[in-house]
Amino acid sequence: MSKFKLHKIVALGVLVATGIWVATGEFSSVGSARTDPGAQEAKKEVTTPRKIVQVAVPPRVEHARTIRVSGQTEAEKDSVLASRAAGVIEELAVSKGDHVEKGDLILRLESEGKEAAVASARQTLAQRQAEADAAERLAKGGNIASLQLDAARTALASAQSALELAQADLNRVTVRAPFSGVIDKVHVEQGSAVMQGAEVATLLKLDPIVIVGEVSERELGNIQTGDKAEVKLVNGDTVTGTLRYMSRAASPQTRTFRMEVDVSNPDNVIPAGMTAEIAVRAKTLETVALPRSVVTLHPDGDLGVRSVESDGTVVFHPIEIVDDTPDALFAAGIPAEARVIVAGQDFVVEGEKVNAQQADASMLRNLARNDESEAPQ
């Protein structure tokens, strides 16, 4: 027998063969690691099923956005009437709440001889007028000097001036309404003494009533004077008017611009100081009417909608909300004929391939109805 035993020779041969196999890096003989061409081909044939979404082409409409502004009612004119002379009130012709016409008497002070002064000045003027007429006739005949004629004319002018001063002094004892309106406050009592310049009554002109609000600088270019406005009062009444004024200087504190709306108020039923909401129609734009639920938020933070291209690719469109009404959301920025995803838009991403199914009219109505029920009142 050889010095080396047979089993040692076999073991040494196995060791050498294993080393050579490891060194080559070929492991194809292992069944679990062997590549099966048929299996790979089968794997290629297996595809992930596309998601199903429902789409619709929303109608494009000409829509004027409604700009809503909080405001309040104000009197068209608000005047505090004052006494033009000192004296005792002889007659107080009005009470709070009375309606007066322009020129109506508010109060009268005791005249204290002012009427007599007017009568005397009027008589003097008549006398000076007669003297001036006589001097004119004599001067034409050359019977008096020109200096005498000039003196007669001067005396006439002086008498005319004296009458006007006396009449003006008499007029100061009365206070009359400078415009038609409602007496809101009476600050004096009959028989009381007042000083010159003392407040007598507050007169308001409530027809038309003015609704005043503040519009932001972003909306300033969307409205203009002459636009129609709808005003909802705090008591629930709704009236219509016309935008009559837009300030061209912003408030330093709020950076907003004052706006005024004229509303007819013939019976003075709308008081000053009532809270109101002004709704003005802005410029008309081409928009797309959508249910609110269709709008989604992009991961980048943009608000928009998703649509499906003809090849089934999902595309995101940023939008600008033009108006939000109970009927629909009106938006701009959506391409014409875009097939907007109305169901499943939150479960797909841009670039993904989907199967698009046309949504029926009943589904769109239900979406709009749900949006309306969830809208804030």
Tens of pLDDT, residue by residue, the chain (377 residues): 444 566 666 667 766 667 666 666 554 444 444 455 555 554 544 556 888 888 888 878 887 778 889 999 999 999 999 999 998 999 999 999 999 999 999 999 988 788 888 889 889 989 989 988 888 888 887 777 778 888 888 988 999 998 989 888 888 889 999 999 999 999 999 989 999 999 999 999 999 999 999 998 888 877 888 888 999 999 999 999 999 999 989 888 888 999 999 999 988 899 999 999 999 887 777 888 888 888 888 888 888 899 899 888 999 989 888 877 777 788 888 888 888 888 888 888 888 898 888 887 666 556 555 554 544 44
Tokens standing for residue 258 = 């004052």
Taken in order 167, 171, 177, 178, the sign of the CA dihedral is: positive
Which parts of the chain fold into alpha helices (H)?
6-24, 37-45, 114-141, 146-171, 361-374
Tokens standing for residue 83 = 């006494």
Angle at 317 between CA 314 and CA 288, to 5 degrees: 115
Quote the crossing angle between the two packed helices 114-141 and 146-171, to the nearest 10°.
Answer: 160
Length of the chain: 377
Per the CB < 8 A criterion, the answer to whether 292 and 375 are in contact is yes
Distance CA 206, CA 265 (A): 7
Tokens standing for residue 139 = 């001067």
Per the CB < 8 A criterion, the answer to whether 241 and 200 are in contact is no
Question: What is the separation of C-alpha 272 from the centre of its chain, rounded to a whole number of angstroms?
Answer: 20
Distance CA 328, CA 324 (A): 7
Distance CA 200, CA 175 (A): 9
Angle at 134 between CA 131 and CA 137, to 5 degrees: 155
Domains of the chain: 52-61+286-374 (2.40.420.20), 68-77+205-284 (2.40.30.170), 88-109+175-204 (2.40.50.100), 111-172 (1.10.287)
Given phi > 0 = left and psi -120 to 50 = alpha, else beta, which region is 13? alpha
Per the CB < 8 A criterion, the answer to whether 125 and 165 are in contact is no
